[in-house]
């Protein structure tokens, strides 16, 4: 079994990173943005957008037609919910939690075939030169699994499984992002995987069919 050695972390390159042209970490920027000064809000958004983009893209695919809207909607929700944020968890995790919920809601709106069709049109027609065909194949292949998770699992299980599978989060990161104790995150992930296992088996999938080609 060959496995990728570069484990992806949602907050890689984002946590405590100062945005271009500014100083201070995301927590400081978030505190400053509470004052609703447009310039400070913009600097906070500049810092938090890569996390939001990665989260939305992880759940929706990199060429989903509503990706831009989901990122924008997440950013607006993040700023509007900022007064309720208690600065207990990592700011990038707080942003990821909101973006995850927006992206899941977008995926729920999709209809399987319509979505695949739009996805392909968008990918193939608008960005033919810059996208590796293997990337498109990988994206389309991930898409059916994301859809199955969103449609068949409970909300809490969906969040845990998507964060684990498509954003490379550890159990600790899932706990921090979803704001629950580690044991609860573990249980959600386990029950989510159990249910996913039953769904996949019911559809005739085997481990050989899902693994790398051997």
Partner 1 sequence: MNCDLHPEAFLDRALSGTLSAAERQDLDQHLATCVACSAHVAAAERVRQRLAEQPWDEQLDRKAVERAMTVLYRPRFAGLRSGRGLWLGFALTGLLLVGGVAGAVLWPSQRSSIVSFPTPPGQASAPIPGQAEPRLVAEPNPLPSEPTAQRSHRAQPSAAVLFAQAIALRGEGKVEAAIAAHLRLQRLYPTARETRLSFALAGRLLLEKGSPEPALAQFNQYLARPGDVGEEALVGRATALGRLGRSASEAAAWREVLERHPGSIYAAHARKRLATLAEKPPSATDPSPSR
Q: What are the tokens at 101?
A: 């919920």
* CA-wise closest residue to 59 among 164, 204, 186: 164
Establish how many alpha carbons lie within 13 A of residue 116's alpha carbon, considering only the half-sphere containing its beta carbon. 12
> Contacts with partner 1: how many residues (CB under 8 A)?
85
Torsional sign, CA 109, 209, 135, 114: negative
Q: Is 21 in the site for partner 1 (CB under 8 A)?
A: no
Q: How far apart are CA 161 and CA 169, in angstroms?
A: 9
Q: Which of 6, 23, 35, 181 binds partner 1 (CB under 8 A)?
A: 6
Segment interacting with partner 1, rule: CB under 8 A, options 23-31, 41-49, 89-97, 101-109: 41-49
Residues 59-118 that bind partner 1 (CB under 8 A): 61-62, 67-68, 71-72, 75-76, 79-80, 112-113, 116-117
Q: Is 57 in the site for partner 1 (CB under 8 A)?
A: yes
Residues 148-167 that bind partner 1 (CB under 8 A): 148, 164-167
Where would I find the H helices in 90-154? Answer: 91-109, 112-120, 126, 133-152
What is the per-residue binding string for partner 1 in 115-134, x denoting contact by CB under 8 A? Answer: -xx--xx--x--xx-xxxxx
- 155 versus 194: smaller Cβ distance to partner 1: 194
Least spacing, CB of residue 164 vs partner 1, in Å: 7
Least spacing, CB of residue 78 vs partner 1, in Å: 9
* CA-wise closest residue to 196 among 156, 150, 139, 163: 150
Least spacing, CB of residue 25 vs partner 1, in Å: 18
CA dist list (Å): 17 to 42, 153, 174: 15, 34, 21
């Amino acid at each position: 079994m060959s496995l990728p050695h570069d484990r992806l972390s949602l907050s890689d390159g984002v946590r405590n990173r100062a945005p271009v042209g500014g100083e201070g970490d995301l927590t400081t920027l978030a505190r400053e943005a509470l004052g609703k000064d447009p310039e400070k809000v913009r600097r906070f958004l500049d810092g938090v957008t890569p996390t939001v983009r990665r989260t939305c893209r992880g759940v929706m695919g990199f060429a989903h037609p509503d990706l831009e809207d989901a990122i924008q909607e997440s950013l607006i929700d993040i700023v509007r919910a900022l007064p309720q944020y208690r600065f207990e968890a990592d700011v990038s995790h707080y942003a990821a939690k909101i973006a995850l919920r927006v992206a899941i809601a977008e995926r729920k709106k999709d209809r399987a075939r319509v979505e695949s069709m739009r996805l392909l049109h968008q990918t193939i027609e608008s960005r033919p030169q810059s996208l590796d065909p293997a990337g498109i194949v990988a994206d389309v292949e991930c898409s059916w699994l994301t859809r199955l998770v969103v449609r068949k699992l409970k909300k809490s299980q969906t969040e845990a499984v998507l964060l684990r599978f498509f954003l490379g989060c550890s159990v600790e990161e899932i706990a921090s992002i979803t704001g629950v104790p580690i044991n609860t995150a573990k249980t959600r992930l386990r029950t989510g995987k159990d249910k996913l296992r039953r769904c996949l088996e019911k559809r005739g999938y085997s481990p050989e069919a899902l693994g790398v080609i051997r």
